[in-house]
Structure 1
């Protein structure tokens, strides 16, 4: 669900801002991370039916954390260079950063559980 929220935030931001105005829109941070988190969620849900996907789900969630950290760095660079003429875009970008934080936290929890489960087998 957080991946869908991330894609929505990215589409809203892309519709309200020019392409070269920020790194957030230039690299499509929110859309990319949102799609990755949706895929991670689907693979994690398939674990109930196909437990053999544990390694794949662990790898996908670790990859999501890496991409989320890269995205958070890009957003932080944007926020440090922000001009005060458009407060709505600033709020949307901060919301995108918060969603990335939530997604990273969820993936980290899943990675810890998957790692424990993998070592238990």
Structure 2
């Protein structure tokens, strides 16, 4: 009445669970190949998506001289707008403005030009 019956079974080994172990290697190799194929497909998809997302922009401020470019940029920055498109254009304008300053031999000349056009106080807002 106080005895507990032993109901535990031995833990089966992997070999005893698989009836035919001769086929095991080919099954594992096949699974690895399928996994490699899936990874290759995934990597291909990711790289295609990245290529589609990168888009080259044409500088809308290209002009014959840097003064022409700066004039176009200042006009663009003076336009008001709160839409996403307007804000994106402002960001793009600042991007090309920075690029122009970085590539110009004498960026101080550009800053002086802007100061003369806008006044000292407003000009500082343009490049800070």
TM-score by structure 2 length? 0.28
- The higher-RCO structure (CA 8 Å, 6+ apart) is 1
Structure with greater helix share of residues: 1
